[in-house]
C-alpha cells in the first residue's frame, strides 16, 4: 500500500519527509508528493515516478521552507499514475491538504454531492473528496470537522491533514489502514510504518481504528469520535531497520501470506451491496453475456493457475464453456475467437508481455477483453474493454501469494456477477456464495493461526529431492500452484498431477521416501483420493494430506494431515492454497535460501 509520513518540529520538514518516504519505498508506489506549511500557506509539490524525481524537483527538500508537513508515496487505486492524481490533494481554496492510504468506497456518491455544491475536482482519485469535505464542513474547529468527515465516509483509510488556519499543528486519523505516531524531543511524527521514523525516534503510539490525533512539536493528543481524550502507552521499538521494513517479519513473502485476509476483504467489501455483487465499472450487459459462446482465460504462471480454478467456477455458475490457456501459447495458436468470445486476462502487474500480446491478438479477432489486474493505469488495465481491479496492494516478494488469492477472489466475484445477471444462479445460491467469500478472511486467519503445524511438517521434508502434488478437479487446480510455489523458492523438483492420471505413468516415479502432497477437499471425490493415497503408500511414498475438517478417516492413510475449515466447495481453493504457501515458505527458510528473490526470477515479466 501507499506510504504516509508527517512531521512537525524545529527542522525543515521537506527533507525529513523525503527521508521518511525513502524508508517506505519497499511498499511499492508510482508517485510521490509533499505538502509543507510555509509563511505563504500550504505548498504542495508532487511528481509521478520514483521518489528521486520528487527529490530532484524540490532540491532534496531545500526548495520548500517550513517546519511542518505531510508526505506520501502512492500506489494507484483510483485514477492512473500521474502528477495530478498524486498526493497530497488540496481543497479548492488551498486551505486543506490531505494524504490518504486506503479506499473510499462511497467516493462516487460524495463526489456527485460535492460537485452539486460547487466544488471542482481536478483528479480521478477517491482521495480528493476528503479534501473538499474538510473545506465544506469546516467552521473553525479542525477536530469537529474531522469527526463530521468521518461520519460521511465509508471505507478504509489513514489520513493526514494540514489546515492553513493551524500553522503549528496537523491532524490525522486511522481506520483499517495502518498509522503510527512517533514521539520525539521537540518534534513529533506520523507514518504508515516504523521504518519511516526510526532514525528519529523509537517511541511510538499505535493508533486504533477511529482514533484521531492532533500533533504539534511539543504535544500529541489523541481523541475518539466522541471527542474524548485517550491515554495511550508508548511502545519502545527494538527492531533493526531491515526487520522494521517488513513489519517485523523476516521476509516479505511471509508478511504477504499473513496479509491475505486483509487483501481479500479489501477486494470483496466494495463489491457487495444489498446482497448482490456490484461491479460499477464493468460495462458488460446481461444481453452481451447471454450471447457469449466461449470464454478464454489467458494468463502466465500463478495467474494461469487462477484461471484453472476459474474454469471450474465459471462453468459451474454461468454454464458457458471455458478454455484456459497460457498467454504465450494463445498468441501463437491461431485461436478461434470472434465477437461472441470473451477473453479474461489475469495479471498482477498489468504489464506481463505475453498477456499483453494475447490481449491484442484477441481484440484483433473481435473478441471482448476483461482484465483482472492489481495495477491501476497499467497497460492491460488501459487497453482491456473492462477491468476488475484486485486491491492486493503492492507485493514485494517475487513468489506471489496475496496477488494469487485476490485474483481468485475476483474470479468468484465475476462468476457470481455473471450468474446473477444471466439468472443461472438462484437467489439462495447467490446468497450462499456471497456469504462464503465475505467470511473467507476469517477462515484464512484461522488457518494462519495453525502455521506452526505446517512448519513442523516442513522441517521433516525440507531435504526432499522431489515432491509430487495430486488432486482432482478444483484440488488439482490448486495443486498446480502449490507445486509452482515449492519449486520457485526451494528449488526442489516438483510436479502436480491430476490424481486419476497416476496409474497412466506417474506412479512409476514413486519409490521409498517420495513425498506426495494429496489434496482431498472435494467431497464427492474423497474416497477416490483415499484410493490414490493407498496406491502411492504401497510404493513407499510419504503422504501429506490436506482435508476438510471432520474427515478424520484420512488419518489412517496419510502420514500427516492438515485440516482446512469447512466452506462452500467452489471457494475451497482459497483456503487450500494457504497451507501450500506456508509449506513452501518454511521449506525454503529451512534450506537458508533467498526467499524474496529466488534465482533467475523477476516480479514482473515484461519481456517475451
> So which residues are the catalytic ones?
2, 603
Residue carrying the nine cell digits 465509508: 154
d(CA 479, CA 502) in angstroms, rounded, equals 14
d(CA 370, CA 384) in angstroms, rounded, equals 6
DSSP alpha helices (H): ranges in 233-390?
A: 241-245, 252-258, 260-268, 286-291, 301-318, 327-330, 353-364, 379-383
d(CA 559, CA 144) in angstroms, rounded, equals 61
d(CA 58, CA 227) in angstroms, rounded, equals 38
Polymer length in residues for the chain: 608
The contacts of residue 427 (CB under 8 Å, 6+ apart) are none
d(CA 376, CA 370) in angstroms, rounded, equals 14
- Secondary structure letter of residue 311 according to DSSP: H
CB-CB contact of 39 with 340 (8 Å): no
For residue 96, the SS3 value is strand
Q: Are strands 386-389 and 89-90 parallel, antiparallel or unpaired?
A: unpaired
The contacts of residue 99 (CB under 8 Å, 6+ apart) are 4, 6, 33, 35, 70, 71, 72, 87, 88, 89, 127, 159, 160
Cis upstream peptide for 576 (omega within 30°):
no
d(CA 104, CA 123) in angstroms, rounded, equals 14
Containing H/E element for 298? strand 294-299
**Vertex 223: Cα angle to 220 and 227 (nearest 5):** 135
d(CA 86, CA 97) in angstroms, rounded, equals 12
User: For residue 47, what is its C-alpha cell?
Assistant: 511528481
d(CA 103, CA 356) in angstroms, rounded, equals 27
CB-CB contact of 506 with 468 (8 Å): yes
Residue carrying the nine cell digits 511502545: 235
d(CA 315, CA 298) in angstroms, rounded, equals 16
User: For residue 43, what is its C-alpha cell?
Assistant: 505548498
Containing H/E element for 419? helix 402-422
CB-CB contact of 206 with 180 (8 Å): yes
In 105-169 the beta strands, taken as DSSP E runs, fall at: 155-163
Q: Distances in Å between the alpha carbon of 489 and those of 276, 306, 399? A: 39, 19, 7
> Phi/psi zone of residue 441: left (φ > 0), alpha (ψ -120 to 50 degrees), beta?
alpha
d(CA 404, CA 398) in angstroms, rounded, equals 12
d(CA 383, CA 369) in angstroms, rounded, equals 9
Amino acid at each position: 500500500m501507499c506510504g504516509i509520513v508527517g512531521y512537525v518540529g524545529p527542522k525543515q520538514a521537506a527533507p525529513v519527509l523525503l527521508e521518511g518516504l525513502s524508508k517506505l519505498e519497499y511498499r511499492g508506489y508510482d508517485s510521490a508528493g509533499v505538502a509543507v506549511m510555509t509563511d505563504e500557506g500550504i505548498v504542495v509539490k508532487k511528481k509521478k515516478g520514483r521518489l528521486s524525481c520528487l527529490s530532484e524537483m524540490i532540491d532534496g527538500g531545500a526548495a520548500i521552507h517550513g517546519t511542518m508537513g505531510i508526505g506520501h508515496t502512492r500506489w494507484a487505486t483510483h485514477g492512473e499514475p500521474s502528477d495530478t492524481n498524486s498526493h497530497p490533494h488540496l481543497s479548492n481554496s488551498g486551505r486543506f491538504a490531505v494524504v490518504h492510504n486506503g479506499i473510499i468506497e462511497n467516493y462516487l456518491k460524495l463526489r456527485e454531492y460535492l460537485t452539486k455544491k460547487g466544488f471542482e475536482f481536478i483528479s480521478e482519485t477517491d482521495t480528493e473528496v476528503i479534501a473538499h469535505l474538510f473545506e465544506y464542513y469546516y467552521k473553525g474547529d479542525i477536530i469537529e470537522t474531522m469527526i463530521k468527515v468521518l461520519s460521511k465516509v465509508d471505507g478504509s483509510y489513514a489520513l493526514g491533514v494540514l489546515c492553513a488556519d493551524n500553522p503549528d499543528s496537523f491532524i490525522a486519523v486511522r481506520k483499517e489502514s495502518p498509522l503510527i505516531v512517533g514521539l520525539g524531543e521537540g518534534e513529533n511524527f506520523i507514518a504508515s510504518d516504523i521504518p519511516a521514523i526510526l532514525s528519529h525516534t523509537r517511541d511510538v503510539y499505535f493508533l486504533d481504528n477511529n482514533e484521531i490525533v492532533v500533533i504539534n512539536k511539543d504535544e500529541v493528543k489523541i481523541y475518539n469520535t466522541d471527542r474524548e481524550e485517550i491515554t495511550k502507552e508508548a511502545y519502545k521499538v527494538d527492531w533493526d531497520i531491515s526487520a522494521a521494513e517488513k513489519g517485523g517479519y523476516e521476509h516479505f513473502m511471509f508478511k504477504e501470506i499473513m496479509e491475505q485476509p486483509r487483501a481479500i476483504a479489501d477486494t470483496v467489501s466494495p463489491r457487495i451491496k444489498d446482497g448482490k455483487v456490484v461491479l460499477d465499472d464493468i460495462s458488460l450487459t446481461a444481453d452481451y453475456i447471454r450471447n457469449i459462446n466461449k470464454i478464454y482465460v489467458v494468463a502466465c504462471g500463478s495467474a494461469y493457475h487462477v484461471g484453472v480454478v476459474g474454469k471450474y467456477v465459471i462453468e459451474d455458475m454461468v454454464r458457458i464453456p471455458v478454455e484456459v490457456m497460457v498467454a504465450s501459447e494463445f498468441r501463437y495458436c491461431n485461436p478461434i475467437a470472434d465477437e461472441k468470445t470473451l477473453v479474461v486476462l489475469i495479471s498482477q502487474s498489468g504489464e506481463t508481455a505475453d498477456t499483453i500480446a494475447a490481449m491484442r491478438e484477441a481484440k484483433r479477432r473481435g473478441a471482448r477483453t476483461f482484465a483482472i489486474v492489481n495495477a491501476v493505469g497499467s497497460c492491460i488495465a488501459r487497453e482491456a474493454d473492462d477491468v476488475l481491479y484486485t486491491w492486493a496492494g503492492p507485493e514485494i516478494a517475487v513468489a506471489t501469494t496475496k496477488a494469487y488469492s485476490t485474483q481468485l477472489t475476483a474470479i468468484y466475484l465475476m462468476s457470481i456477477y455473471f450468474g446473477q445477471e444471466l439468472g443461472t444462479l438462484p437467489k439462495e445460491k447467490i446468497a450462499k456464495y456471497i456469504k462464503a467469500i465475505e467470511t473467507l478472511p476469517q477462515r484464512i486467519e484461522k488457518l494462519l493461526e495453525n502455521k506452526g503445524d505446517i512448519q513442523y511438517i516442513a522441517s521433516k521434508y525440507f531435504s526432499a529431492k522431489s515432491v509430487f502434488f495430486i488432486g482432482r478437479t478444483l484440488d488439482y487446480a490448486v495443486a498446480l500452484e502449490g507445486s509452482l510455489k515449492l519449486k520457485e523458492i526451494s528449488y526442489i523438483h516438483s510436479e502436480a498431477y491430476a490424481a486419476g492420471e497416476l496409474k497412466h505413468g506417474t506412479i512409476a516415479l514413486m519409490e521409498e521416501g517420495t513425498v506426495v502432497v494429496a489434496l482431498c477437499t472435494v467431497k464427492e471425490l474423497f474416497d477416490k483420493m483415499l484410493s490414490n493415497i493407498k496406491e502411492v503408500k504401497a510404493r513407499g511414498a510419504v503422504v501429506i494430506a490436506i482435508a476438510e475438517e471432520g474427515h478424520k478417516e484420512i488419518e489412517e492413510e496419510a502420514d500427516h494431515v492438515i485440516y482446512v475449515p469447512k466452506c462452500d466447495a467452489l471457494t475451497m481453493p482459497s483456503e487450500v492454497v494457504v497451507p501450500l504457501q506456508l509449506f513452501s515458505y518454511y521449506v525454503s527458510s529451512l534450506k537458508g535460501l533467498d526467499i524474496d528473490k529466488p534465482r533467475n526470477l523477476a516480479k514482473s515479466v515484461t519481456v517475451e
